[in-house]
Amino acid sequence: MLLGLAGLALAALLPAGAPQAQGTPKEIVIGGTISQSGPLQGIVAPFVKLAKAWEDRVNARGGIPMKAYGKSLPIRFVIYDDKSDPATTLSFYERLATVDKVDVFIGPFSSGLHNAALQASVSHKIPFFMVEGNDPFLFKDPNPWRVTGLAPADKEQTRMVQFLSKLGGLKTFAILARDNLHEKESAKGLAEMLSQAGFQVVYQETAPADTKDFASIVLAMKQKNPDAVVVEALAPPSNIQFLKQAREQGLNPKELFVSHAPVPVIKGLGPSSENMVSMLYSFDGDSADHKEFQELCKAAGFEPWQYSEAGIRYRAYRRIEDALERAGTLDKEAVRKAMWSTDLTLFGEEQMKHDATGFGTDMPYPVQVHDGKYVSLWPIEKGLKVHRFKDGKW
Amino acid sequence: MDGTLLLQLTINGVLLGGVYTLAAFGLSLIFGVSGVLNLAHGEFLMLSGFLVFLVSDRLGINPFVAVALVSPLFFAVGYAFERLLIRPLALRKEHVRLASATLVTLGAALILEDGAAFFSLGTEFEKSVGYFLPTLRLGPLVLPSLKLVVFGLVALLIAGLAAFLKYTYVGLAVQAVTQSPRGALLNGVPTARIGAVAFGIGTFLAAAAGGLEVIHSYVSPLIGLPLTLKYLCIIVMGGLGSFVGVALGGILIGLGESFVGFLNPAWGQTVAYLLLVLVLLTRPTGLLGK
């Protein structure tokens, strides 16, 4: 008993991480959470398999070269189910830091869960790659331990506005956002960018997150007779319900853009989803990155178009791998610095950078439902040929 | 606001309120007979919605037929729920029984919610049947046809329930227990069994509402408790024990949500609770309560 107590006291006096610094690590441990239950699971649940597929891929080619140790190290993911809940998320990131002793944090889904996870990153000083969190409040305070791959939420629809500007035929827009931080920010940015591009926003409202009846909102939109209707809803079911009622109430816009519309939305609308425009963090192409991304998705059991956020995850894996390789060590300060100074080019045209606050450059691409699945509207020249107006046809 | 718009908002509000009314009737019936506030009521609605989706999706049958197949099964679920979880509390002191029963139903609600989330059929958390009917137009007015059909079915079910309560022995016994459990017992009514039957009927109504919900809207594991709260609002506003009051409460809330939602969507969902407070301040027993 006394010996045990003495041991505990000695352990408490030793600086954290001291034993690791003395030996060569056997592996690189990357830890995070992904919602396997709760309302966010529909958007990200299969990304556990996506991470495993990437782990297998990296390890099959011998791991990541680490100069400081004179060899390559295999990677290992530790991923927990955060139940789409901030408190659960924080407790798991604490566990990842203290029990699993991860070298790098990889983020969960949504800004709300990132906010919870950030606390663990700061208190344990673990480099944190925030995969799917891009709202300004996360970057309000300077914090050297975190970066995100994503551009700020209010710039999220940049490519969509670029596409619409080239498309022509649309003048007036109605925008509905669900009342949460990310959607409001994204909708606000979209409205600003549309106005700057010469479009007119004739209706812009926010509906409470638990709204189940949109008939009155649809009616208010109809009064404005917009050419295009935009629904900024992060996850079903709000968008499913809105679209069902829009159809039923005879809201027949020339263009319909539903910004976060995973497969359940297409299923819930059936053939009425045809020609609905949405967004995906990937586009068709034949670069080596496109091929690798497609193979990863296949290994995870889905097609790239089925999970719009899969592309963000792929970019995150690549950025983390690149940062670790450039750092050449698992020293947390070195890894952190390497994360900030990324300079990768992916998918043939995307240059990965971070600004001074930690925001990245990843933005989604426009897609459209054709025959019950998304097809890419990018590059713009190709998209203009493929795009079809909804023209009020449900 | 012009006349057409006013009429359109009124139509939308009445249809919405009518849909709310069906499940609220079930909750009112259970409360009237057993005095138990069944907080798991919305969970049965949610479970039925999931089942209707499954039956319709996997077997490829019309979702309305799926509702007709699935919802009667929930009579047995409600009956068993009362026998297994509520009846054992019957011999406790009145205030202990009511508090315990409410807590038991709350516990059941949370278990059902978590269970549904856990077994939510893969990665698609929300279920909605992609079923539409052509929109009807009456001059400048739009009649949402699917909601109209749902409203019609709700009206039919409520009329059937009213006839059942008025013309059958069990229905009359339900009314007798609602008015005076002790009096009914003294007249030979098997009050315990009637309590279970009321739970069964109430749960069947919730299940029918859930089936219709997945057709014109959606279901997800988390919709149960918020819906139960809204139904509670409706029956308290209408007057506890008054079926006409429930209908009136449902329609009023539907109208409130329709008009307020048009003017400012942010307040559309809050209006039910504001109306409840307003009614209770002026008529503490509800609109038609005694």
Give the DSSP per-residue string, A292-355: HHHHHHHHHTS-GGG-TTHHHHHHHHHHHHHHHHHH-S--HHHHHHHHHT---EETTTEEP---
Residue B268's pLDDT is what?
A: 82
B125 touches A at CB < 8 Å: yes
Helix (H) or strand (E) holding A73: strand A71-73
Region of residue B238 (phi > 0: left; psi between -120 and 50: alpha; otherwise: beta): alpha
Q: Cis omega (within 30 of 0) on the bond before A379?
A: yes
Contact residues of A toward B, CB < 8 A: 37-39, 41-42, 45-46, 176, 179, 205-208, 210-217, 219-220, 223, 235-237, 240-241, 244-245, 247-250, 263-264, 267-272, 394
Is A289 part of any domain?
A: yes
Chain A residue at shortest CA distance from B146: A248
B218 chain-A contacts, CB cut-off 8 A:
236-237, 240-241, 268
A217 chain-B contacts, CB cut-off 8 A:
261-262, 265, 268
Residue B120's pLDDT is what?
A: 65
Q: Are residues A68 and A139 in the same domain?
A: yes
Residue B85's pLDDT is what?
A: 94
Sign of CA dihedral B81, B83, B84, B85: positive
Residues B12, A237: C-beta atoms closer than 8 Å: no
Sign of CA dihedral B176, B180, B181, B186: negative
Query: What total number of domains does chain A contain?
Result: 2
As given in the structure block, the two tokens for residue B181 are 């459990």
CA distance B128 to chain A (A): 5
Is A19 part of any domain?
A: no
Residue A351's pLDDT is what?
A: 87
Matching residue, tokens 């009917």: B133
Residues B269, A211: C-beta atoms closer than 8 Å: yes
Hey, what amino acid is at A56?
D
B145 touches A at CB < 8 Å: yes
Residues A207, B146: C-beta atoms closer than 8 Å: no
| C-beta separation of A275 from A248 below 8 A | no
Q: Are residues A259 and A371 in the same domain?
A: yes
CA distance B114 to chain A (A): 9
Task: Give the CATH number of the domain where residue A265 resides.
Answer: 3.40.50.2300
Residues A216, B131: C-beta atoms closer than 8 Å: no
Touching A: B residues 243-262, CB under 8 Å: 257-262
Q: Are residues A181 and A121 in the same domain?
A: no
CA distance B264 to chain A (A): 8
Q: Are residues A114 and A148 in the same domain?
A: yes
- The predicted-structure confidence for B169-218, as pLDDT tens digits, reads as follows 999 999 999 888 889 999 999 999 999 999 999 999 999 999 998 888 88
| C-beta separation of B45 from B209 below 8 A | yes
Rounded Cα gap, residues A20 and A25, in angstroms? 7
B265 chain-A contacts, CB cut-off 8 A:
176, 205-208, 211, 216-217, 220
Is A7 part of any domain?
A: no
As given in the structure block, the two tokens for residue B109 are 């609600």
Rounded Cα gap, residues A81 and A89, in angstroms? 8
Rounded Cα gap, residues B134 and B143, in angstroms? 10
Rounded Cα gap, residues A151 and A354, in angstroms? 9
CA distance B248 to chain A (A): 19
| Helix ranges restricted to H, chain A | 2-13, 18-22, 41-44, 47-60, 86-98, 111-124, 158-167, 181-196, 215-224, 238-248, 263-269, 288-300, 310-327, 332-340, 380-386
Query: Choosing among B129, B217, B257, B258, which should be mutated to test the A contact, i.e. which has the most A CBs within 10 A?
Result: B217
| More confident of the two residues B94 and B62 | B62
Beta bridge partners of A388: none
Rounded Cα gap, residues A293 and A307, in angstroms? 12
Is B280 part of any domain?
A: no
* pLDDT tens by residue, chain A, 394 residues: 444 444 444 444 444 443 444 578 999 999 999 998 877 887 898 999 999 999 999 999 999 999 999 999 999 999 999 988 899 999 999 999 999 999 999 999 988 899 999 999 989 999 999 998 888 888 888 889 999 999 999 999 999 999 999 999 999 999 999 888 788 889 999 999 999 999 999 999 998 887 888 999 999 999 999 999 999 865 667 788 889 889 988 899 999 999 888 887 888 888 999 999 999 999 988 999 999 999 999 999 999 999 989 999 999 999 999 999 999 999 999 999 999 998 899 998 888 888 889 999 999 999 999 999 999 999 999 999 999 999 988 8
Residue A22's pLDDT is what?
A: 53
Chain A residue at shortest CA distance from B124: A42
B147 chain-A contacts, CB cut-off 8 A:
248
Tell me which residue of B247, B268, B220 sits closest to A219, measured CA to CA.
Answer: B268
Query: What total number of domains does chain B contain?
Result: 1
Is A129 part of any domain?
A: yes
Residue A6's pLDDT is what?
A: 46
Residues B130, A267: C-beta atoms closer than 8 Å: yes
Average pLDDT estimate for B39-45: 96
B118 chain-A contacts, CB cut-off 8 A:
37
Is A6 part of any domain?
A: no
As given in the structure block, the two tokens for residue A224 are 């404005």
Chain A residue at shortest CA distance from B261: A216
Chain B residue at shortest CA distance from A252: B135
Is B167 part of any domain?
A: yes
Touching A: B residues 22-51, CB under 8 Å: none
CA distance A291 to chain B (A): 25
Q: Are residues A253 and A376 in the same domain?
A: yes
| C-beta separation of B71 from B64 below 8 A | no
Size of interface A-B (CB pairs under 8 A): 130
Chain A residue at shortest CA distance from B223: A210
Rounded Cα gap, residues B88 and A18, in angstroms? 60
Region of residue A70 (phi > 0: left; psi between -120 and 50: alpha; otherwise: beta): left
| C-beta separation of B202 from B30 below 8 A | yes
Is A374 part of any domain?
A: yes
CA B28, B32, B36, B42: dihedral to nearest 10 degrees?
-10
B257 chain-A contacts, CB cut-off 8 A:
213, 216
As given in the structure block, the two tokens for residue A161 are 């506005």
When CB atoms are compared, the residue of B118, B259, B265 closest to A207 is B265
DSSP classification of residue B265: G
| C-beta separation of B271 from A211 below 8 A | no
Is B223 part of any domain?
A: no
When CB atoms are compared, the residue of B8, B128, B226 closest to A219 is B8
* End-to-end Cα, chain B, rounded Å: 37
Q: Domain span at residue A210?
A: 155-283+366-386
CA distance A84 to chain B (A): 11
Q: Are residues A164 and A234 in the same domain?
A: yes
Rounded Cα gap, residues B208 and B73, in angstroms? 10
A328 phi and psi, to 5 degrees? Answer: 70, 10
Tell me which residue of A277, A271, A166 sits closest to A232, measured CA to CA.
Answer: A277
Cα angle for residues A371, A375, A380 (degrees, 5° grid): 140
Helices B73-81, B63-70: inter-axial angle, 10-degree rounding: 40
B48 pLDDT more than 80: yes
Q: Domain span at residue B91?
A: 22-119+145-218
Residues B217, A244: C-beta atoms closer than 8 Å: yes
Q: Say what the ipTM of the complex is.
A: 0.79
When CB atoms are compared, the residue of B129, B147, B270 closest to A248 is B147
Matching residue, tokens 């600004």: A355
Is B244 part of any domain?
A: no
Rounded Cα gap, residues B224 and B113, in angstroms? 7
| C-beta separation of B42 from B20 below 8 A | no
B121 touches A at CB < 8 Å: no
CA distance A302 to chain B (A): 12
Average pLDDT estimate for B111-115: 89
Q: What is the 3-state secondary structure of B128-194?
A: CCCCCCCCEEECCEEECHHHHHHHHHHHHHHHHHHHHHHHCHHHHHHHHHHHCHHHHHHCCCCHHHH
Q: Are residues A252 and A382 in the same domain?
A: yes
As given in the structure block, the two tokens for residue A121 are 């990153």
- The predicted-structure confidence for B138-162, as pLDDT tens digits, reads as follows 888 988 888 899 899 999 999 999 9
Is A43 part of any domain?
A: yes
Residue A342's pLDDT is what?
A: 87
Q: pTM for this one?
A: 0.81
Is B196 part of any domain?
A: yes
Tell me which residue of A264, A236, A265, A365 sits closest to A310, measured CA to CA.
Answer: A365
* End-to-end Cα, chain A, rounded Å: 74
Matching residue, tokens 């969960």: A108
Average pLDDT estimate for B218-225: 87
Residues A236, B120: C-beta atoms closer than 8 Å: no
Is B72 part of any domain?
A: yes
Q: Are residues A191 and A295 in the same domain?
A: no
- The predicted-structure confidence for B230-270, as pLDDT tens digits, reads as follows 999 999 999 887 888 999 999 999 999 999 999 988 888 88
